[in-house]
Every structure is written in structure tokens, then in C-alpha cells.
Amino acid sequence: MANRIHILDPDVTMKIAAGEIIERPASIVKELLENAIDAQASTVKIELKEGGKEEIVIADNGHGITSQDIPFAFLRYATSKINSLEDLSSLKSFGFRGEALPSIASVARVEMISRPPEQATGIKIVVEEGKTIEQGEIGCPTGTQVRVTRLFHHIPARKKFLKSAATEKAYCLEVITRILLGVDNLRAEVIIDGRHSLLFPSSVSTEERLALLLGREVASHLAPIRTAVEGQYRVSGFISDPNWHRTNSKGIYCYVNQRPVRDVIINHALLQAYKNILPPGKYPVAIIRLEVPPSELDVNVHPTKMEVRFENPKTVYALVAEAILHSLSKFTPEGPMVMDIHNRIEEAVERYYVEAKKPLRDLNPLPIEDKPSDDFVYLGQINGCFLLFQTPQGLVIIDQHAAHERILFDRLNERDLCTPLASQSLLLPIVMSLSPQEFASAETLIPEIKDFGFEIEPFGPQTVAIKAVPSIFSAEEATLFLREMIGNSDLCKLPSRERRNQILASLACKGAISAPTYLTAEKACHLFRDLKETKNPATCPHGRPTFVRFTSEDLEKMFKRR
């Protein structure tokens, strides 16, 4: 009988393994950019066509590869960066697994041209589906250029999963920004579909780098962290002014020995330091660079090397927390905000009791002249936030903001089908300067938000001019709203229908009455009537409840009458 278990063909294993590293164009950009940095390049040029789906070219001026070495570069587990396992404990490079080039070449066509400074001519090699199809001498500048085309050409199932060019471009720019923010001495140029998206001048200061990569406005809110050192551990970087924040955590960039990582310890230490300063649900922008002795760090946790393990997580936590708390205290006049957790809990409990003892001063049971058709009676408002109604089904408490959000969302949705939202022109256009990532998002969003009343035009490189805003907003509110939309790179990755829904939900949220707002009885009743007419009265567009109801039975049970 024939064996049922057999060893897979190397071509198959290579493609399977490649799947772990090469998911989309951005994964290729990450690997090639890291290789350029490992080759000590001082300049790198990245060109993308169709979000990298059509072509990715990365050229560096690093140390190049010799003609003897070049065929080895495409063999699995072939690397110049380590010789033995022990070398991992002194690792300085991004790469060490020798997997990227063979993985890319197994799912795409790779053309590599390279010349080390000591060689008079360069060498060109073309590899597709793991097979070398061309190799020979070529005249070229020193350094390495890698061109990747025909991505997933032979694996239609994978190709099908790639998203639109705009989405893939957003992923690529995310990777590029993340890597470039972690290194100091690399001049970069990014060209997307023939247009410059990023260009560092010949000498570029740290502030200028931040402004080019994150946009001028974000950079203007950043201040350097006071470097904290303990033994060979060191934390440095930049954090944002506590009076300024973002609605998502996408502006948090962590690096360990230059390597961009996602790390819960660093993240937790950072967010904990901002905890009592930022409103709930708001995040800082931060670039945290941690240096750790390589022997006390495990980078070999996952093939993409985005996760690391620390031998001394407590040292890392304490050092990051100390550096950030200390730097934050410079922003506020009250001095250091270091407070132990017990104090915080005690304070919170105390606050709760004080609040709970206050009389319900807003509870004004005004019997009002309801429209005869209304089957409810308005009882009053609590804390300028909740509305109380007596209904045939029992006591209803409405979250006025959530309810208003639902009403606006439904109206915006219905309205949009026929006429654009009313718009007001601004006397002076507002000019916003953006990061490459934000500019790419803006290009996707501008045509889509036009019928919400926004008129925005590109205005020079990485800059847009807002000429008109929806009339439900003031100019400042509209700019804040736009910043939030443009700054959320996830938005551009959504299918356009979902993206529209999210934009509508945010518009509804921004336009809805905020708490505390004291409503007249008439307005409160109006709100309740409007809510009942919406398609989904029970939740706001973000899924939070708009009301809670206590039936008579519930109330009786609470008072132990049943």
C-alpha cells in the first residue's frame, strides 16, 4: 500500500511559509525597507504602482550584495546577519531569519540589481516562483534595487483577497511611516503612481522628520520625552501635549532597538500615565523608543517580528512609565502626577459618594401639555443628560445624546438619497497640512464627503484647503471632524458602503446634543417622538442603548412588593 504521509514538495512548503510573511504589498514594502536599513543605507527610494499590487520598487544606497552572494539571497534560511543561535543575543539588524526574499520570490516576480562599492559592475538576478530565470552583469550605481511585480500572479486565491489600490496604498504608507519614525539617519523618498508622497530634504532635522511623517499639526503638539536610563535600558521619544488628543490609538508608535513592535507592556505604561489626564476614549500620539540589551530580548516570537519578549518586563514598564509621567508633568503647572493606584481608587469612591448624595436637582416633574396623541408623560431631566418618561410600558430613561444621534443618523441617511446636506462657504479657506498617510486618506474621502456639505480641494503637496463645511457645524467643529476622519487610516480600508455609514455615524455623533444640555419639556418630548419614529430606536449608530425601561413589574420587584 502506498504511503499516505509524504513530505511536501519544497515549492509547496515555500508558498505555505510565504503566506505567513507576505500577506499583501505592505508586507513586501516592510521586508525590503528593513533590508535597506540593515544594509546601512542612508537614502532609500520607494515607488508604488496601484497600491503596490502592480509594482513595488525599493532602491537603496547600502552596502549591496556581491555577485557570489546574490543567488544565496533567494534561498530559504540564507542570511548574512547571523551565523549561530548565540548571535541572536547581540542582534542589531531587523532581519535574521533569511526568509523574506525567498518568500517574496515564491509568490511574485523579483528583479534585484545590486552592486557593492568595491565591485566595478553590478549584478542582476530575476527570480519568479522560486526559480532563477535570469542572471548577469549590469552597470548600476552602488546599492541595491528590488522590483517586485506579478504579486500572487500564480496564486489567484490570494490575489482575490487583495483590497482596492487605495486600501493597499493605505497599508503601505502605514508600514513606511512606522518604520521611518523609528530611524534617525535615513533620507526617504516615496513616489506613488508617479507622484511624490514624501520627500525628505537633503538635511532634515528631527522636528522636520516628524512634521513630514505625521503632518505639521500633529508634530506641533509633540514634545521630546525626557530620556530615562537604567543600566543598559533607555527610553526616549516624543509624546503629545495632554490638552490635545485623538479618538484612536493609531498615533502610538513603539520601537524596541529600532524595531517597530506592538507591545502591551509599553502601551499599558503609556496609557496608564495619560489615564487621569485624557477624557475616556481619547488617546495620545506617542513615539516611544526603547533600547534594551539584545541579550535580554527575544525577537524571535513571530515571523513578522512585530512582537518581542522582554526578560525584564518590570524594568521596561517602570522605565517607560517614569519617563512619560515625568515628561507629562512638564506640560502641567501642578507638578508630577505620579499617584499610586490606591489613592486613585479612594478618590474615585469618594467622588462617587459625594455625587450620590447630591439631590436630583434636575428632576422637575412637570406635567406638560402633551399632544393628545402622545401616550407618554415627560417627568424631567437628570444631570442635563438623561430624560425620564412615564409610558404605558413603564418608566423610560433616555440617553439624550444617543437618542439624538440615532435620529440624526436616520435623517442623514434618508436625506442623502435626494439632496446634498446644506453647506456654508468659508470666507477664508482653512488650510490643513497632512502626513503622507493622511493625504492618501483625504484623497479617498474628499469625493465621498462632498454630498455631506464639505468642499475640499488638494492645495499643494500634502496640503488641502477646506472651502465649505456642512451648516450643522461651525468651521472649527468641521475641521475637528475632518481631522478625525482623515486621521483614521482604518476608514479607508473599509468597503465604501461601510465607510459611508461610519462617516454618517460620526457626523450624527458630532451634530448630536452633548451632555450636559438642559432641554425644555417641549424639546424633550420632541426628541422622544422623533426617536420612536426611527428605524432602530433602541440603539445609537455605534450600538449603544438609547434608552432603558423599567416596567411596573420591575419597579415592584425592586421594592420587594413581589
Q: Which residues in this chain contact ligand ADP in the complex, by CB under 6 A?
A: 31, 35-36, 38-39, 60, 62-65, 73, 79-81, 95-101, 144
Among 52, 62, 64, 95, binds Mg ion (CB under 5 A): 95
97 touches, from ligand ADP, Mg ion, none (C-beta below 5 to 8 Å by class): ligand ADP
Vertex 360 angle, CA 354 and 361, to 5°: 110
d(CA 237, CA 226): 8
Q: What are the DSSP calls for 100-128, one per residue?
A: HHHHHHHHSEEEEEEE-TT-SSEEEEEEE
Beta strands 547-550; 394-399: pairing state = antiparallel
Beta strands 43-49; 187-192: pairing state = parallel
Kindly determine how many residues on this chain lie close enough to bind Mg ion according to the rule CB under 5 A. Answer: 3
454 touches, from Mg ion, ligand ADP, none (C-beta below 5 to 8 Å by class): none
Choice between 34 and 405, CB closer to ligand ADP: 34
Q: Which three cell numbers stand for residue 466?
A: 477646506
Among 37, 46, 100, 299, binds Mg ion (CB under 5 A): 100
d(CA 181, CA 435): 12
80 touches, from ligand ADP, Mg ion, none (C-beta below 5 to 8 Å by class): ligand ADP
Q: Does 218 bind Mg ion (CB under 5 A)?
A: no
Choice between 35 and 257, CB closer to Mg ion: 35
Choice between 101 and 162, CB closer to Mg ion: 101
Shortest Cβ distance from residue 86 to ligand ADP (Å)? 17
Q: Which three cell numbers stand for residue 444?
A: 479617498
Angle (deg, nearest 10), helices 521-532 and 400-418: 60
Residue, CB closest to Mg ion: 95
Shortest Cβ distance from residue 125 to ligand ADP (Å)? 11
Choice between 35 and 488, CB closer to ligand ADP: 35
Shortest Cβ distance from residue 38 to ligand ADP (Å)? 6
Strand, helix or coil for residue 428: strand
Shortest Cβ distance from residue 11 to ligand ADP (Å)? 17
> What is the footprint of Mg ion within residues 8-67 (CB under 5 A)?
35
Beta bridge partners of 485: none
Q: Does 102 bind Mg ion (CB under 5 A)?
A: no
Choice between 60 and 410, CB closer to ligand ADP: 60
148: enclosing H helix or E strand: strand 143-149
246 touches, from ligand ADP, Mg ion, none (C-beta below 5 to 8 Å by class): none
Strand, helix or coil for residue 53: coil
Strand, helix or coil for residue 258: coil
Beta strands 109-115; 423-433: pairing state = unpaired
In the complex, which residues of this chain contact Mg ion (CB under 5 A)?
35, 95, 100
